[in-house]
A = this chain, B = another copy of it.
Amino acid sequence: MTVRDHFLKKAWYAAALSSEIEGTALFPRKILGTSVLIYRLEDGTAVAVHDRCPHRFAPLSLGKRIGDEVACPYHALRFNAQGQCTHNPHGSGHIPQAAKVASFPIVERYGFLWIWMDETEPDLSLLPDYSPLENGPDTAIGWTYMNLPVNYELIIDNVMDLSHIDHVHGEIITTRGKLSPIVPQIRETDKTVSARWEWSQQPAMMIFASFLPQPDAEARQYFDITWSAPANIQLTVAATQEPVGFANAVDQYDLHTCTPADEFNTHYFFATRRNHVENDAEYNAQKIAGMHAAFEDEDGPLVKAVQDEMGSADFFSLNPVLMSNDVAPVKVRKLLDKMIREERIASANAPTTK
């Protein structure tokens, strides 16, 4: 049994950070196995089209911008943002009916460009609300991006079982062995899986300790995470030294989101907004660099080693020994699998649209 081409199609995937698509650049990225060209119109609107000229299959991203259009680098067929060929310099200049490329709806929110890879009408209600990322100054939010040579579900597994922080991560976000003994509370809807850990540790995680009244003293903390299809995990983490509740806690509101380049390569995006030292641009830069390093240097090598061991085998086919800490990631795998299967059945039964 092998890893299937296991992608939900009717969904919003993070195609890029907003900051990755600058000026007039033609930005190529492989998404769900498809070459995609992302760029911004002159008014700043981000657009995406199939990065493959229908003539001789050259990547349009190697071509030239002509206003809001792109000319193929090979024979200069020109396409607009809707994917329609607008200019053919050859012969009579007649534009063949088939001279078009797929265009993919893009929505820009929360510092990300979200892409709809399916051929059906995009459904904006399927993009979760991460508006808390937008509440606050620019110096209190950071974004980062990594490319990992692993199947995306291994990254979801990683984040859905935060007990790994006890064992994998260093001082910056250490949980000092406190998470593993906890059986996290699970909450479910038909479209989401959530988990919550609450604990005390002394001192608090390094990212929070110095912003608490008594940096060296014990603090109460929680993690609360919610997975939404296809590969988004919203994570809130907080610390307080008040006896009850987290109303005045030092916290951060994060989004982890994964986009498969293909079955064995994943674009891993991360955003984090904090509610403290909100106006310190230098701290802000250090903070996101530290978080990036934790993923790249601590999670990354492990998840890659797991991928190497698994090869192309399906996770469940290897008979994993599952424990109390696996409830949330397993529920996500099963719910995502169910959504994918249902989508395929629906798609097989649907009247052809193209």
* Chain A residues at the B interface, C-beta cutoff of 8 Å: 35, 52, 54-59, 62, 71-76, 88-94, 96, 98-99, 157, 161, 163-164, 166-168, 177, 180-183, 301-302, 305-306, 309-310, 318-326
Contacts and interface: CB of A to CB of B under 8 A. Distances in A.
A274 B164 CA distance: 53
Contacts of A326: 55
A316 to B, nearest CB: 12
A164 B325 contact: no
A74 B309 contact: no
Contacts of A75: 161, 163-164, 167, 180, 325
A348 B227 CA distance: 46
B73 A302 contact: yes
Given A75-B161, A89-B177, A91-B325, 4 more contacts: A74-B306, A76-B167, A89-B180, A99-B321
A166 B94 CA distance: 18
Majority secondary structure of chain A interface residues (helix, strand, loop or mixed): loop
A282 to B, nearest CB: 33
B91 A56 contact: no
A35 B306 CA distance: 12
A88 B54 contact: no
Contacts of A76: 166-167, 180
B180 A90 contact: yes
Given A181-B89, A323-B96, A74 B302 contact: yes
A52 B167 CA distance: 17
B90 A56 contact: no
B58 A306 contact: yes
Contacts of A322: 55, 96
Contacts of A168: 73-74
27 contacts: A35-B309, A54-B320, A55-B321, A55-B326, A56-B320, A57-B306, A58-B302, A58-B305, A58-B306, A59-B309, A62-B302, A71-B167, A73-B168, A74-B164, A74-B306, A75-B164, A75-B167, A76-B167, A89-B167, A89-B181, A90-B180, A90-B323, A90-B325, A91-B323, A96-B321, A96-B323, A99-B321
